[in-house]
Amino acid sequence: MQNRSLTSFDLFRFIEELDYLQGAVIRDVRSGKNEIFIELYKNQTFWLKLVPGKYFSVSNTKPKENIKFGFTEMMRSSFLNKRINLSMHRSDRILELDSLEKKLVVELFSKGNIILTNGGNIEHALFTRNYVSRNVSEGEVLIYPPEKFDFLHSEKKSILGELAKSDKQTVVKALAVDFSLGGVYSEEICYRAGIDKMKSPNKLLEEEKNAIYSAIEAILHEPLKPNIVNSEVLSVIDLTHLHTEKEYFKTINDAVINFFREETVRSKQKTTTKSQLENEINKLSSEIDFIKENYEKIYTAIELIKNSDVELEKRVEMLTKLGWGLNGKTITLLSAPNLSIDITRPIQFGTEQRYTKIKKLKNALSKSKIVTVRASKLDYVDESAWYSKFRWSTTSSGKLFIIGRDNNQNVSLIEKHVEKTDVILHADVFGSPFCILKCKDVEVTDLDLQECAKLVGAYSSAWKAGANSIDVYYVKPEQITKTPPSGEYLKRGSFYINGKREYIKKSALEIYIKIEFDQVQYKIIVLPYRPESNFIKLAPGNIKREEVLNRIQKECRENLSVELERDKLDRVLPQGRSKIEKIVFLTNTRKV
């Protein structure tokens, strides 16, 4: 039982769920290997991932790679800073992004396509394709695929009339094909209606037709319950006719991400030697050199094979004389059959793909002589709240506190983000960040202050100096000013504190790095208190920063099967040398 693309019903309910994106502004467009990413902004940043012929999804995570590609440049110039609305075309598996001036048409059926239109005319298409009923190419009028019955926007009489006149042999097939519902939802409708799915549509009794209509209405409007059935079927509702293992999700988006990204989710065991990495890098580099040196010849070969005015057999014969062979959508160099060029994409696209692979291979090669890849490479969750650009954490009672990363952020915190009810903390040492503890309408406890003090001290110069503890003071917002007493001078970015300072004496310098993850994404969270599991406890020590980073990555890779991005981890470590005091991963606990 396989269903590896979104049905029209999935698309219909999914767009309902994504109502919060309506009117969002397009900030950027990027290309991945087989997908397009669109950065949207509406109160916060989202990334819309488009995979033609399959699905789309939304993430807060910036894509890791950006392949230079002419089509995305055209999209960017057409839609940058434009507001868009999402919709589907009739009951077809077509997602549309409309900016009023221009429209992006994303085909999620068959081989898929992304088409940029202006006033009903095609400006650009990701893939140029010719069909019996329409041509998809630059300059052509946009013609949609032959229309099927639009059951999503039809009344009962039309729906039952369409069903009765179907030429399909069975009811379930009529619903699946004529109504574009797909096999699973069609079987669900028959099951709920209590009729034999193999019955001929034109032999349905009146009460059976009414039962089918009621079942259709029910699934169109019932509460969402996104789930994956037996790892094989994606459904946005609870399928009552399937009594097998189901994994439920909070949103359709979560279910879609999990369903379509099995390769990312699945942890693999594979060993790559240094020589294998070097050989692959050399191979890709040679291919890039060949493409650059023979660009005109490759271009001529591609234009030749794409020339539909000449019979295909003749084109292949001419291609062979040029030293190339045709293999589906690629041409292959006869003297080097492992080198293939995709004729459906610009030549530069293939070159950029090879550069991206080389970069990744060199990164793996630089880490160790033998690289063992056994961890899932999950997406990192980037927080989108206003305070995410600062260091931030929460106390064990759930209170938010925010710490400046540098002098500019310290000033920004105090001047722009402090409220009267907050508490401000600072380590009693030169080279300390400011911290604001947000405590509106809630009581601040001694434990809250002690926990905040731990991270303020950890990110001060005391950690780099190798101290074990540091005094941290706290004051009220009204005690802080940029106007010093007469005759005194404040350095840029400094503040003067009036009145009495309250102290937390000998606050221990230690932090807990907690790793939270699920099947598709992970977070690195710094806490001032001990979590239950999946954490590394750090204190000032004698181990170099690079060695600490390597050790944490290795521990997470081997014990959690999660590959942490080095730069994300690097951002949370205090400056200077450290020591790893304790590692707690699930049931695996040990002191180091």
What's the mean pLDDT in 265-289? 67
In tens, the pLDDT along 497-542 reads 899 999 999 999 999 999 988 767 888 999 999 988 889 999 999 9
What's the mean pLDDT in 230-235? 83
- Lowest-pLDDT range, 3-7, 96-100, 106-110, 563-567? 3-7
Please tell me which of 90-104, 250-264, 375-389 the model is most confident about, judged by mean pLDDT.
90-104
As a whole number, the mean pLDDT across the chain is: 86
Q: And the tokens for 130?
A: 């010719």
In tens, the pLDDT along 306-350 reads 887 888 888 888 888 888 888 777 888 777 667 788 888 788 878
Evaluate if residue 270 carries a pLDDT over 50.
no
Q: Which amino acid is at 517?
A: F
- Lowest-pLDDT range, 281-285, 361-365, 396-400, 559-563? 361-365
**How crowded is residue 341: how many other Cβ atoms within 10 Å of its Cβ?**
21
What does the radius of gyration of the chain's CA atoms come to, in whole angstroms?
30
Q: Which fold has domain 148-222?
A: Helicase, Ruva Protein; domain 3 (1.10.8)
- Cβ atoms of residues 402 and 431 within 8 Å: no
Closest CA to 91 of 177, 19, 179: 179
In tens, the pLDDT along 430-477 reads 889 999 999 877 788 999 999 999 999 999 999 999 999 999 999 999
Order of all β-strands in the sheet with 379-380: 379-380, 521-527, 511-517, 535-543, 578-585, 588-591
> Which residue, chain included where needed, has tokens 């052509």?
140
Q: Residue 424: phi, psi to the nearest 5?
A: -110, 130
CATH 1.10.8.50 segments of the chain: 148-222
**Measured distance CA(133)–CA(130) in Å, rounded:** 8
**Measured distance CA(201)–CA(168) in Å, rounded:** 7
Question: If residue 261 lies in a helix (H) or strand (E), which one and from where to where?
Answer: none
381-385-388 Cα angle (round to 5): 70
**Measured distance CA(534)–CA(12) in Å, rounded:** 39
Q: Which amino acid is at 389?
A: K
Cβ-in-10-Å burial (0-12, 13-18, 19+) of 437 comes to buried
pLDDT for 579 equals: 94
- Lowest-pLDDT range, 124-128, 155-159, 341-345? 341-345
